[in-house]
Structure formats: C-alpha cells, structure tokens
Amino acid sequence: MIEPVQLPAPWRDVRLTVVVPTYNEAGNLPVLVERLLALPLPGLSILVADDNSPDGTGEVADKLAIEHPERIQVVHRAGKEGLGRAYVDGIGRALEAGAEYVAQMDADLSHPPEALPGMLGSLLSTQAGVVIGSRYVPGGQLDEAWPLYRRVLSGWANFYVHTLLQVRIRDLTAGFKIWRADALRDIGLHRVQSNGYSFQVEMHYLATKLGHTILEVPIRFEERLDGESKMTTATKVESALMPFKLRGRHRNITRSDAGPAGADEPSDSTPDESSRSGADKSSHSTPDESSR
C-alpha cells in the first residue's frame, strides 16, 4: 500500500466526490470506504450508486452513510443497467451537489485509493481536464495475480480502440480517474450512451474531440480478492462494436457544440515544486488532430 501524497492547504480542501458504482460488492465496499475516508482530503465525499445488488451491497452502503452522514451518499438504482448508466447517474448527481472534481473508481479494490491525492495534485498542477490512473504508462503495474487472458484482452482492447479512434491514451479502458467538473459539463453526460465498460472509452473519446488534455499517471492495478468480475460476453461484444458507433455518433462534434462550463471552478494557485505530486512522471495526452 502506497503512502498518500500530502497536498498543500488550498488543494487538499477542494470538493472532490468519488463516484463508486456497485453490484454485489458487499464484502469490498466497507474496506474501500475506510481507506477513502482515511485519506488526507477533508473535502472528499463518496457517492455509491448501487444497482439493486442481490448480495445486500445497498444495505451495507446505507449503514455506512448513517455512520458518515456528511461524507457518504447512496443512490439506489432500480436494477442492473450497466456500468455506464450507473456512472452517468452518479456523476450527474455529484455535479448537481456542487462537486468541483469528480473521481471514478471501482469498488473491487483494484484501484488504490491512496493514489487519489497524488492524482488530484497532478490534475491541479496542470490544465488537464482529466487525470487517469494508468496501468500502461512507465511506472504503471499490473498485479502478478492478474490472469494471462485478462492481460491479453486488456492489451488487445487498448490497441484495437486506439487504432480505430486514434486517441492518444495508453490506458484507454482505464476506470480510475479524476475529472474537473467543467470538463464533465463541457462533454455533456446526455451525449454518453454506452452501457458497459465501453463507457470509459466513450468519455475519453469525447474529451479528446472537445480539446481537453488528458493526463496519465502510473498506478498499480490490483486483482480483486473478494467477489467476481462483472465482465460478461455481452459486455465484450458491446466493447468491440462501440468504437465504430462512436466514430459515427460523435463524428461532427466540435468545441462549439460543448455544453456550458460551470461557474464554480476554484482558482488553482500553484504551490512550490515539491508538492507537485509526481506530475513529472506523468504521460500527457493531447488531442489527436486526426480525431477532430
């Protein structure tokens, strides 16, 4: 477990909402919440979007919200509609509640919560619209326990999507990231139609098309210890077809089509170089002219 970066006063207090979609994660959610609330980020809150999990994850989330009423909110959704729909719902509610920055992460503990302060510092020290916790930039790692077929599938998916969409991101399918609220409003959640894991690709594609800089910083991706992967055959089929749909759906989108930016973006005063939280190790991805 890494040691969280200590951010300077104006940065550690920003309103950061971590959106966590859940489906059958009753065993992992309390551990994740404990680690998130232990971070040196007093402005951090958690929004759990549960898809009516049959294992009682929703009830577990409610108990955690009772214990931490000022920092945890639970959204109970009618049923399992896919990762993308849960994220659109959760992110939309976070923006409505006044979040300045919105983080996405899985509930299965594959994404290290302790990396969030460093990712936030990297975002605030640049003009990027989003920072990705990346497995595939220098310094990024995959848990040795991750099965070979998952490694091959992930590597092929990134190559396949990059070839079709020409988006210069090494970890195109990454699900661990922090967005500026203005970038999310600019993208417009109403445009996002993906249901499954291809949601991540669609968000990256839209951000690129609209001219937002995407920053990748290295993380170690862990294999889940409790529960089962939600990757199904239907999800794989959707992910394979989605790049073709995205090229047609968003072909003509330009910066002038973007939604209104939020007016509550805080000023990011730059602290001294010692607190830039590893941004020098990052990979900066800028919009690819061929994808405009």
Distant-in-sequence contacts of 69-76, Cβ < 8 A, 24+ apart: 70/45, 71/37, 71/44, 71/45, 71/46, 72/33, 72/45, 72/46, 72/47, 72/48, 73/45, 73/46, 73/47, 73/48, 73/97, 74/47, 74/48, 74/50, 75/47, 75/48, 75/49, 75/50, 76/50, 76/52
- Which CATH code for domain 11-252+274-291? 3.90.550.10
Stronger pLDDT, 92 or 195, i.e. the higher one: 92
Q: Is the pLDDT of residue 154 over 60?
A: yes
**pLDDT value of position 238:** 59
Reported as a pLDDT band with limits 50, 70 and 90, residue 45 is: very high
- How much is the mean pLDDT over the chain? 82
**pLDDT value of position 229:** 55
3-state helix, strand, coil in the chain (%, to 5): 40, 15, 45
Cα 244 to Cα 46: distance, rounded to the nearest angstrom: 34
Max mean pLDDT range (4-8, 149-153, 156-160)? 4-8
Reported as a pLDDT band with limits 50, 70 and 90, residue 9 is: very high
Q: Is the pLDDT of residue 268 over 50?
A: no
Reported as a pLDDT band with limits 50, 70 and 90, residue 76 is: very high
**pLDDT value of position 244:** 58
pLDDT tens digits along 240-261: 666 656 666 666 676 545 444 3
**DSSP-derived 3-state class of residue 134:** strand
Average pLDDT over residues 68-89: 94
Question: Which of these ranges, 49-53, 101-105, 117-121, 163-167, has the smallest mean pLDDT?
Answer: 163-167
Cα 11 to Cα 1: distance, rounded to the nearest angstrom: 23
Question: Which of these ranges, 207-211, 223-227, 236-240, has the smallest mean pLDDT?
Answer: 236-240
**pLDDT value of position 264:** 38
Burial classification of residue 251, based on how many CB atoms lie within 10 Å of its CB (0-12 exposed, 13-18 middle, 19 or more buried): exposed
**pLDDT value of position 250:** 64
Stronger pLDDT, 166 or 108, i.e. the higher one: 108
Say if residues 105 and 113 touch (Cβ distance below 8 Å).
Answer: yes
Domain-wise residue ranges, the chain: 11-252+274-291
**pLDDT value of position 111:** 96
**pLDDT value of position 159:** 77
Stronger pLDDT, 182 or 237, i.e. the higher one: 182
Q: Is the pLDDT of residue 214 over 90?
A: yes
